[in-house]
A and B are shown apart, each in its own frame.
Chain A
Amino acid sequence: MGLGREGESAVGIETVFQLGILTAAAVFLFFALKDEGRDRWLAVGAVAVLVFGVYAGLFIAGTDRFQGPPQRIFYVHVPAAWIAFFAFFLVFVFSVRYLVWREERDDVWAHACAEVGVLFATLVLITGPIWARPIWGVWWTWDPRLTTSLILWLIYVGYLMLRAYMTDPDQRARFAAVLGIAGFLDVPITHLSVVWWRTLHPGPVVLRSGGMSDLPPSMHIALWSCLLAFTLIFVYFVRKRTAIERLQARAEAARAGAGG
């Protein structure tokens, strides 16, 4: 198994890929080891699983018979989409909680999940066209799945812009919560768009109805390890983001105290 098609020498390319993975691992480990407490081990674990997942996606998973090497983009594209959906689901949950109980903590968590969700949604919108170009022959088409995914991304970028530009904290939290709830409606539409409409985008291949999968075991290893890595990274980033929010609140309180 490897990156190239059968009978094709890919030793040079494999070396470049391995060096790339090692470089990324070294940089990520540098950041991880700078952290403290439980977060340090969460970050180290996330980096270790990510390195394995990327390695599995590039070298362990077999080359797809029909699509060839570009199919390997699936192992980062699909888990990133799942994590983005999960993040926006959490924004929905925390937004509902905020509107019911008006706890500032829920607003902070919703904000953190939205920001990290937009990161993963952005990765989906970049890696998708990179896969589409060699497979469909175009970078982008106004297919239902692609269009609803772009709308989803725009909704949550709008959510972050709303938060950035509103100054009154109560009003900001309330408006953001309403948008976080309304925006989530696009998640099931995006997910089911491949079922509801005729679309170029591939349908579900991991689990079809009845629990059957089209993927061989080596592809499952790559897919699930990348999903685990992205999940750990998501948890780590959300924890760091909420910590920043707490520091920001303390800094603002200190400024207000110093001002009178």
Chain B
Amino acid sequence: MTTTTARAIDRFRKAAAAEGLLDVTYATADSPFGTLLLAATSHGLVRVGLPNQDRDALLEELAAKVSPRVLEAPARLEEARRELDRYFGGDLRRFELPLDWTLSHGFRRRVLEGIATIPYGETRTYTEMATGAGNPRAVRAAGSACGSNPIPLVVPCHRVLRLSGALGGYAGGLEMKESLLALEARRARD
């Protein structure tokens, strides 16, 4: 792509924003674990892609489930990027940025909303999350709700463990889950 094309695209993006046509915007952000994909609607952060997740597949999913008007534009993601930076640096314990829950429904969404309230440095079990969402026997469903969390890190599904204390699963890989818990445990003691 030539610089003239890049400039034309940049102008187009601004005009599209002014017209309110940017239904979903996305940007990448650096993290200690690799590059994250951040996507937002006008309501808030709608999707966080972890470093090991397929970026194209995530964008296609957003196009299919939210709106095909998906465009790369960093402006709306600045706050998310800043808060995540501070989180990885151990300086942020509670995310304040607005979230868009569009991608989660029903029981899954109730589980994820419960997870969003687990305090920094603490953990819960899948059983507790199932109970909190109104169905104590749906432990597996609670586990799969965690697994399908569209906004990991900000909705801290890494704070949910098995009853035995085993890590369970994590979309970003178990090493990442372990590191996040270790970071929070260190900072929580400070």
Q: Do A and B come from one complex?
A: no
